[in-house]
Structure 1
């Protein structure tokens, strides 16, 4: 099972201006640097939680369809499924009509199964025989969870203010990782 980003977000839902407001930065001198830290924070958040912030297109590859019929999509929030393709037992690529699958986007992780009365076809016995393309992320900033934004702002501020791994005083102390605590609360559970 592997996830690949196909089309990155065209619109970022968390802005440098919002991050600066959180950090109480009033000048524009380091907007580019803050933007880099913000992008890194969003990336780390997404990697740690399996949540996608801004709408983007992803690909999930599997070696075969699951025996229990349910495919968990570990990139939330799933908006829609664009395609489900597979290599059949003769080695030819086939595509399943998206009307023949059911997406449960309300669950975390999202779940994909054959529609009522349908079943997954038999695939060739090869790696990456199944390819699912889907859109995930929030479609507008108002829908973003406040905890998600808090974790991202905390990481951005931390990296902006502490440009090294440790703060050195009389003794070296690691900066508190409040963002990690929030991300552990927001992590998508693996399996059911």
Structure 2
């Protein structure tokens, strides 16, 4: 079994930090820079979260679909992101080529140090699937919660620090001038949340 892709099915409705929080961090009261600050928030958040982010996590509630070429040989099906709030559905193409949905009574959501996964209930078995790349689709709800306050404070603080750093260092890079380092506190704040082997 191989995971072929992970797709954002339903994006979060808010960002982990507000524009007002970011404006305070960069010490801007006026609204002239709002668009740029919002773009910086979006860029920093996308650097941290989702399947392309360095944390391997979803921050604010969002739905993802992981696509596999079949069910695993073991009773464990690993999901790409953490934390996972719930499984929305597990759909598959059966051996006859028909679409089907796995009954929620046949699996449970679990997590351990490596991440979140679906495990078969006792005495259940994965159904046979058609031989195709998109044989199994697991849609799940991930993230810490619906509001910025649900995201761990250290992650929110790192986002604000990165936004402020990028806002304060917007000029062109000059040859022969040393680059401004990203604050070390950002790495320290994010370290506990980086998932191993992501």
Alignment length (residue pairs) = 189
Match of 1:17 in 2: 20
1:142 pairs with 129, 142, 149, which one? 149
For 2:165, the equivalent position in structure 1 comes to: 158
1:141 is displaced (CA, Å) by 2.7
Match of 1:7 in 2: 10
Candidates 31, 42, 46, aligned match of 1:43: 46
Please name the residue that 1:59 is paired with: 65
1:128 to 130, 134, 146: 134
Going from structure 1 to structure 2, the CA distance change for 1:68 and 1:33 (only over 3 Å counts) comes to: same
- 1:141–1:78 Cα change, 3 Å: same
Taking structure 1 as the reference length, the TM-score comes to 0.88
Q: Please say if 1:103 is aligned against 2:109.
A: yes
Q: 2:66·2:80 contact (CA, 8 Å) conserved in 1?
A: no
Deviates more, 1:41-50 or 1:182-191: 182-191
Compared with structure 1, are the counterparts of its residues 63 and 165 closer, same or farther at alpha carbon in structure 2 (3 Å cutoff)? farther
Q: 1:38: Cα distance to partner?
A: 0.2
Distance in 2 between the 1:173 and 1:119 partners? Answer: 59
The secondary structure found in structure 2 opposite 1:82 is strand
Which of 84, 92, 107 is residue 78 of structure 1 equivalent to?
84
Residue 29 of structure 1 deviates from its aligned partner by 1.6
Deviations 1:61-94 (A, max 9, x none): 0111111221121211111101001111221111
> Following the alignment from structure 2 to structure 1, what is the Cα–Cα distance between the partners of residues 134 and 85?
23
SS state of the match for residue 172, structure 1?
Answer: coil
Runs of 4+ aligned structure 1 residues displaced above 6 Å come to none
Q: What TM-score do you get using the length of structure 2 for normalisation? A: 0.85
